[in-house]
């Protein structure tokens, strides 16, 4: 059997990311435990005496996650920050990373030095150690750095994606959309916020927004639940408005679908008054809004609805036949 095929229906792009992940879980069978101990949450949880371990992995690939306009330092920092955001989404503390490089022969030593300078600076800031890695030669024109990050649960529990119930509320940190105007490199992973939230009994489930609210919210609301989002309440970033002016579409659509927000989306227990949570949040994080954007309902087949309108799936798709428009992402 050949690695690559010209028959469209037999290509991974015909499945899309979500279904391909489902297939991989099936192929692995009992080798992959159910989430959060296996595939399916922001990190995998490895139960331990004492505090559970968290594991996550995310790469940066030239032409896919960055282009020539992005400084090498920012690429190195982003590699770590993407993974830090996954640890934040479970309320964990990052500890240890390994980095596997696949490098074309023509890769510049100077560029790589700056890349590592950015990675090291970010690691120092978050007290992460980079303890190992691998270097392999790749075909001409290819650069990929694949980081695996280990962390530890901070609180007695880990916040997973599971736990939402009808009647619960949806909250999000920060503002959404327009990340390509800079936020996708300058974002701060919400580690302190995630750790704090993991200690609050009101929080039932959490995820970091990497593929856009419209897509990621579905991970928190398995059928027959759905998310009933209030369009007027969704915090729209100034860059989403700028980006909408430049590229068309409404600012709200960009807030829903651009992706790479790296904010935290969480499910708050609907039976508990949220006043205490919000008051305490403002004391600890006075500069970062925490906004109620909707609630969990029984939705039948709807993935989520926006005010009166039912919306189809959306957000960033990692595997699509035509990837040209996402090259600079």
Within residues 128-187, the interface with a copy of itself by CB under 8 A covers: 128-139, 141-144, 146, 148, 150
- As a whole number of angstroms, the distance between CA 104 and CA 227 comes to 44
Q: Please, which of residues 70-109 interact with a copy of itself by CB under 8 A? A: 71-72, 95-96, 98-100, 102-109
Binding a copy of itself (rule: CB under 8 A), the pick from 155, 278, 306, 319 is 319
Residue 286 as a binder of a copy of itself (CB under 8 A): the answer is: no
Least Cβ distance, residue 230 to a copy of itself (angstroms)? 32
Task: From 5-13, 156-164, 280-288, 296-304, give the range in contact with a copy of itself by CB under 8 A.
Answer: 5-13
Q: Compute CA distances 31 → 18, 24, 38, whole Å.
A: 19, 11, 9
Residue 38 as a binder of a copy of itself (CB under 8 A): the answer is: yes
- Catalogue the E-assigned strands of 119-211: 129-137, 143-153, 169-173, 203-208
Four-point Cα dihedral 291, 268, 190, 17, nearest 10: -100
**Per rule CB under 8 A, count of chain residues that contact a copy of itself:** 93
Residue 30 as a binder of a copy of itself (CB under 8 A): the answer is: yes
- As a whole number of angstroms, the distance between CA 168 and CA 202 comes to 10
Residue 110 as a binder of a copy of itself (CB under 8 A): the answer is: yes
- As a whole number of angstroms, the distance between CA 121 and CA 97 comes to 14
- As a whole number of angstroms, the distance between CA 313 and CA 290 comes to 25
**Radius of gyration over every alpha carbon of the chain, rounded to an integer in angstroms:** 20
Residue 6 as a binder of a copy of itself (CB under 8 A): the answer is: yes
Residue 270 as a binder of a copy of itself (CB under 8 A): the answer is: no
Closest CA to 267 of 215, 218, 212, 317: 218
Residue 69 as a binder of a copy of itself (CB under 8 A): the answer is: no
Residue 63 as a binder of a copy of itself (CB under 8 A): the answer is: yes
Indicate the residue among 116 and 285 with the shorter CB distance to a copy of itself.
116
């Amino acid at each position: 059997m050949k690695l690559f095929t010209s028959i469209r229906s037999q290509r991974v792009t015909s499945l899309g990311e979500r279904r391909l992940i489902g297939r991989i879980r099936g192929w692995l069978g009992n080798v992959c435990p159910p989430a959060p101990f296996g595939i399916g949450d922001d990190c995998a949880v490895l139960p331990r005496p004492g505090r559970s371990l968290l594991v996550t992995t995310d790469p940066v690939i030239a032409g896919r996650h960055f282009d020539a306009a992005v400084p090498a330092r920012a690429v190195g920092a982003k590699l770590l920050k993407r993974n830090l955001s996954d640890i934040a989404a479970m309320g964990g503390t990052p500890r240890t990373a390994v980095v596997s490089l696949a490098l074309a022969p023509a890769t510049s030593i100077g560029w790589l030095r700056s890349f590592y300078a950015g990675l090291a600076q970010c690691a120092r800031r978050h007290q992460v150690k980079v303890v190992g890695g691998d270097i392999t030669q790749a075909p001409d024109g290819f650069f990929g750095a694949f980081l695996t990050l280990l962390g530890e649960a901070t609180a007695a529990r880990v916040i997973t994606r599971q736990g939402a119930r009808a009647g619960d509320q949806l909250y999000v940190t920060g503002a959404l959309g327009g990340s390509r105007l800079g936020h996708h490199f300058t974002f701060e992973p919400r580690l302190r916020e995630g750790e704090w939230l993991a200690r609050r009994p009101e929080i039932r489930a959490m995820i970091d927004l990497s593929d856009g609210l419209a897509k990621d919210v579905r991970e928190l609301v398995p059928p027959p639940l759905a998310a009933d989002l209030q369009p007027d309440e969704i915090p729209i970033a100034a860059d989403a408005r700028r980006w909408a002016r430049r590229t068309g579409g409404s600012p709200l659509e960009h807030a829903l679908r651009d992706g790479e927000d790296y904010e935290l989306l969480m499910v708050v227990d609907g039976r508990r008054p949220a006043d205490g949570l919000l008051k305490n949040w403002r004391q600890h994080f006075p500069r970062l809004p925490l906004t109620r954007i909707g609630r969990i309902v029984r939705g039948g087949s709807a993935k989520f609805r926006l005010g009166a309108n039912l919306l189809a799936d959306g957000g960033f798709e990692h595997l699509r036949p035509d990837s040209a428009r996402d090259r600079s992402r």
